[in-house]
Amino acid sequence: MKLSVVIPTHNRPEVLRRTLRALVEQTLERERFEVVVVDDGSTEPNRETIRGFEAPYEYRLVEKPQGGLASARNVGADQARGEYLHFMDDDVLPHPDLLRQHLESHEAAQEETAVVGALPYPLEVKMNTFLWYLEQSGHYDLYKHPRKYPGGKPPMPPLNGNSSLSREAFIRIGKYDETFRRYGSEDLDLGYRLDQAGVCFLYNPQAIGYHDHIKKFDQFCIDMETAGESLIQLYHKHPAIRSSKKIDLLEDPLRSLPGKKKLVKIIMTLTLRAPWLLALPRVVVRLAGPFYALRRPLFPFYRWISYYHYAVGMQRGLSATP
């Protein structure tokens, strides 16, 4: 067995079944891959729906009490038999060539490699200004715009919901850290440890998993606060990420920051102290958001509001530190 696809899920049986049905169309020979679904504490009616799925490929369902994404992925990896592990979210619809692209990337690599695939929206999704912002900012696909980063890669290369690595490397590095229970950062933590251990990160834009995850802006802002708190947990574990993840913007005095960060800190500090400053940007986003032609001028408004909520979460995490 070459490749094990590990899919954690929680109370989303129809979303999961759509993903499992899409795996039927893979061009990779069925004897070369297996699928391990880990039900992380779904309710009994939802579990019954999942149990009813019959796959034409090798497939196993593992049920466990709810413990979070990191825990579910670790359980799936423990059950997997493949040489390589492909961690796929339950709302990622695989392109028919997805698994073949991942496996061929590993087999062609000259060094130990983690392969990260692309996460575009499904072709049938009608783009709006907010979804365009998420895509352009690389929120779900940090590798899509390499020119944003020094050296062409994110300073903390994460794994996403369409990523693979060798089973040996995953076990040697220490698996996912199950203490990360909030939204966000468990993938950053594993990616950071892999990077520190010398594992190469390869972005394969042909390994396409369509991210069928449409989120409203209000919910996104709530999630950003949770992700900010989770980031502080990551910071306490890996203090070296302080500058690359912009935690210094909250902790350091203005005079000690480089020029560009000075401006960002001024804006962030003012907004945290006077959140009413966002009243106008919120109105602009609400009124102009439906007009796709305005996506470019709206980009800085989306960024300002979302970064504010991220900073709120970070601030909350820092203040909770003993």
> Tens digit of pLDDT for each residue in 177-233?
999 988 889 999 999 999 999 999 999 999 999 998 888 999 999 999 999 999 999
What is residue 103's predicted lDDT score, i.e. its pLDDT? 98
**Phi first, then psi: what are they for 189, rounded to 5°?**
-65, -50
What is residue 150's predicted lDDT score, i.e. its pLDDT? 65
Helix (H, G, I), strand (E, B) or coil at 264: helix
**Phi first, then psi: what are they for 157, rounded to 5°?**
-65, 115
**Please, are residues 39 and 50 in contact by the beta-carbon 8 Å criterion?**
yes
What are the structure tokens assigned to 149, written together? 């980063």
**Phi first, then psi: what are they for 59, rounded to 5°?**
-145, 135
What is residue 195's predicted lDDT score, i.e. its pLDDT? 93
Count of all residues that appear for the chain in the document = 322
Which own/partner pairs from 53-59 qualify as long-range (CB within 8 Å, at least 24 positions apart)?
53/17, 53/20, 55/20, 55/23, 55/24, 56/24, 56/30, 57/23, 57/24, 57/26, 57/30, 57/33, 58/1, 58/30, 58/33, 58/34, 59/20, 59/34, 59/35
**Please, are residues 103 and 207 in contact by the beta-carbon 8 Å criterion?**
no
Q: How far apart are CA 309 and CA 198, in angstroms?
A: 33
Instruction: Give the DSSP per-residue string, 60-82.
Output: EEEEE----HHHHHHHHHHH---
What are the structure tokens assigned to 9, written together? 């899920």
- CA 255 to each of CA 178, 261, 266, 271, 280: distance values in angstroms, whole numbers, following the listed order: 38, 10, 11, 19, 30
What are the structure tokens assigned to 133, written together? 């912002």
- Burial letters for 289-318: b for 16+ Cβ neighbours within 10 Å, e otherwise? beeeebbeebeebbebbbbbbbbbbbbebb
Taking the alpha carbons at both ends of the chain, their separation in whole angstroms is 47
Start-end ranges of CATH 3.90.550.10 in the chain? 3-128+137-211
- In this structure, the number of other CB atoms found within 10 A of the CB of residue 31 comes to 10
CA 280 to chain centroid: 30
What are the structure tokens assigned to 137, written together? 């900012």
What is residue 290's predicted lDDT score, i.e. its pLDDT? 92
CATH class of 3-128+137-211: alpha beta
Q: Which amino acid is at 120?
A: P
What is residue 260's predicted lDDT score, i.e. its pLDDT? 84
In which residue ranges of the chain is pLDDT below 70? 146-152, 321-322
Helix (H, G, I), strand (E, B) or coil at 58: strand
Helix (H, G, I), strand (E, B) or coil at 316: helix
Residue 249's contacts (CB-CB under 8 Å, 6 or more residues apart) are 257, 261, 264, 265, 268, 311
